[in-house]
């Protein structure tokens, strides 16, 4: 049994005998790259192979767990180059005071369990997926005889069978092989061995997905929305890396016997809307509404910290996809809303930790205009009732505040709506004609429920792609520019040195 020891320097050492054993792996033993790991897709209900890098990670972890040897490529090109500070079995990974890096797969969305039997979601709950180990033209842990592998390849390429051997496709990656006089056996196959370079794009954009009404006790719904958005954007063949994190806030809200009255529901919406949508009633309560915003900020900051830990050196942008009431909550958080008042508040409320990276708020199927209109009415009413002291600084009205957000460059709002969505309103009408630039985006929807259609629509994925392309990694670009300037200065300096006349 081989064990890998990590000393305080973080370097891996094997004894001479162990190294010899690793180098002299018999041909019949599978290399890590010849094994392919697969996962059960719960939606498509079929087994899908992991990308090459994920498969190598899973196989290396599996072998370290069992004490099995690593082949040269897996040891030198994967483990020693990239995985020495990871949380792997048998590794004394403490390097300085740093916590070990989690073993994540599927673009970093899932964490691998200890026994390599399941993967668990990193940013949500209740979504465990089973994984399996399959071999490359092999049976069990052994490669098939070379001649038999050659015959399989010919069969897969041409469909030709040999008189002494029959092949039948069993599933996407399984083949039934029947040799004359022998019992049939199922072998698994992949056309290419796993490579470390076969991986997901580097993540450059992070998007939080905030749900609206009707998610009490139902975390799966916002997770499914998130998955659909991720899959839809990826289906456009976008080259940059996008990462979506669901924010499920409803289960964390507790009324604790609170009964609303006029003192806490001054901006309350239409009686019938409050009656039909309990979450809207709760949000219109100044006490519970504040609690909801604080909960969303807490969850977002926690998830952001988690994401940064898993993606050290992230230089990309952050956006929010707020659906329905979620768009209002997100807007309020970004504009520090704390009830309609006439005076500027000096209270230091909770803030998001990624405001410097925040570039876009997608308000989707959004009643934000309705909320702003109601608040504007309340603001005007307050102004009319109260005698105003000129020494006090008046706060801008809700509509004025929206116009300021629209014209400021910190983050932009894109309002996605569909004509048949009874909850969605246009926002451009809040802006003067001359100062208005694109906010509203009409999308087409042929067959889905009006207010719930957005995660299914190609138009929505295209808008996201436009946004990702628009804000494409400016930090990296400027770094590249600096590099080229320094390089050119270096070349110029060298040229001056070699052309300097001798004195």
User: Which residue's CB is nearer to Zn ion, number 287 or number 315?
Assistant: 287
Binding Zn ion by CB under 5 A: which of 264, 328, 460, 473? 264
Query: Residue 288's closest CA among 326, 312, 258, 320?
Result: 258
Query: Residue 397's closest CA among 458, 335, 342?
Result: 342
Lookup: tokens for 352: 């998001």
Cα within 13 Å of Cα(306), Cβ side: 17
E strand residue ranges, 191-256: 203-210, 241-247
Q: Note whether 285 binds Zn ion by CB under 5 A.
A: yes
Work out how close the CB of 195 gets to Zn ion at its nearest, in angstroms, rounded to a whole number: 58
Of the listed pieces 17-25, 222-230, 277-285, 393-401, which binds Zn ion according to CB under 5 A? 277-285
Q: Note whether 282 binds Zn ion by CB under 5 A.
A: no
Helix ranges, 43-201 (H): 52-66, 72, 146-158
Work out how close the CB of 283 gets to Zn ion at its nearest, in angstroms, rounded to a whole number: 10
Which residues in the 369-408 window bind Zn ion by CB under 5 A?
none
User: Which residue's CB is nearer to Zn ion, number 285 or number 427?
Assistant: 285
Q: Cα–Cα distance between 221 and 84 in angstroms, integer? A: 37
Work out how close the CB of 337 gets to Zn ion at its nearest, in angstroms, rounded to a whole number: 16
SS3 at position 487? helix
User: Which residue's CB is nearer to Zn ion, number 282 or number 364?
Assistant: 282
E strand residue ranges, 391-477: 412-417, 440-442
Of the listed pieces 47-55, 118-126, 280-288, 312-320, which binds Zn ion according to CB under 5 A? 280-288
Which residues in the 413-452 window bind Zn ion by CB under 5 A?
none
Work out how close the CB of 401 gets to Zn ion at its nearest, in angstroms, rounded to a whole number: 23
User: Which residue's CB is nearer to Zn ion, number 130 or number 287?
Assistant: 287
| CB of 309 closer than 8 Å to CB of 98 | no
Provide the β-strand partners of residue 175: 169, 187
E strand residue ranges, 337-491: 358-364, 412-417, 440-442
Binding Zn ion by CB under 5 A: which of 129, 154, 260, 342? 260
Q: Note whether 60 binds Zn ion by CB under 5 A.
A: no
Which residues in the 331-360 window bind Zn ion by CB under 5 A?
none
Q: Cα–Cα distance between 183 and 187 in angstroms, integer? A: 13
Work out how close the CB of 256 gets to Zn ion at its nearest, in angstroms, rounded to a whole number: 11
Interface residues with Zn ion (CB under 5 A) are 260, 264, 285, 287
């Amino acid at each position: 049994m081989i064990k890998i020891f990590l000393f305080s320097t973080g370097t891996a050492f094997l004894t001479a005998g162990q190294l010899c054993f690793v180098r002299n792996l018999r041909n019949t033993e599978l290399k890590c790259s010849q094994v392919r790991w697969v996962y059960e897709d719960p939606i498509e209900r079929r087994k899908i192979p992991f990308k090459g890098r994920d498969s190598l990670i899973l196989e290396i972890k599996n072998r370290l767990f069992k004490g099995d040897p690593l082949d040269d490529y897996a040891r030198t090109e994967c483990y020693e180059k990239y995985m020495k500070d990871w949380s792997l079995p048998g590794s004394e990974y403490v390097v300085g005071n740093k916590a070990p890096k989690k073993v994540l797969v599927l673009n970093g969305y899932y964490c691998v369990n200890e026994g390599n039997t399941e993967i668990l979601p990193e940013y949500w709950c209740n979504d465990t997926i089973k994984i399996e180990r399959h071999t490359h033209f092999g049976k069990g842990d052994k490669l098939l005889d070379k001649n038999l592998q050659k015959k399989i390849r010919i069969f897969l390429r041409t469909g030709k069978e040999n008189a002494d051997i029959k092949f039948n496709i069993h599933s996407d990656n399984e083949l039934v092989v029947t040799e004359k006089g022998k019992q049939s056996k199922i072998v698994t196959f992949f056309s290419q061995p796993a490579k470390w370079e076969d991986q997901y794009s580097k993540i450059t954009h992070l998007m939080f997905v905030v749900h609206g009404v009707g998610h009490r006790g139902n975390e799966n719904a916002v997770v499914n929305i998130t998955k659909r958005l991720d899959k839809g954007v990826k289906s456009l063949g976008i080259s940059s890396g996008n990462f979506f994190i669901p924010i499920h806030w409803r289960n964390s809200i507790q009324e604790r016997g609170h009964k609303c009255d006029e003192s806490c529901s001054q901006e309350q919406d239409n009686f019938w809307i409050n009656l039909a949508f309990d979450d809207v009633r709760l949000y219109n309560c100044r006490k519970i509404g504040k609690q909801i915003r604080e909960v969303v900020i807490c969850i977002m900051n926690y998830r952001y910290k988690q994401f940064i830990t898993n993606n050290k050196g992230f230089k990309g942008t952050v956006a929010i996809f707020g659906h329905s009431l979620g768009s209002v909550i997100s807007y309020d958080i970004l504009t520090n809303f704390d009830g309609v008042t006439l005076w500027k508040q000096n209270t230091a409320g909770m803030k998001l930790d990624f405001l410097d990276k925040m570039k876009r708020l997608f308000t989707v199927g959004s009643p934000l205009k309705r909320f702003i209109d109601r608040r504007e009415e309340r603001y005007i009413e307050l102004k009319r009732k109260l005698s105003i002291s000129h020494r006090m600084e008046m706060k801008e009205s809700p509509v004025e505040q929206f116009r300021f957000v629209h014209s400021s460059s910190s983050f932009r709002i894109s309002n996605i709506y569909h004509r048949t969505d009874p909850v969605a309103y246009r926002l451009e009408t809040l802006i003067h004609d001359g100062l208005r630039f694109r906010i509203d985006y009409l999308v087409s929807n042929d067959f889905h429920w009006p207010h719930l259609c957005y995660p299914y629509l190609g138009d929505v994925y295209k808008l996201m792609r436009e946004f990702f392309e628009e804000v494409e990694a400016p930090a990296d670009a400027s770094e590249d520019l600096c590099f080229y300037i320094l390089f050119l200065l270096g070349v110029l300096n060298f040229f001056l040195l070699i052309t300097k006349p001798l004195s």
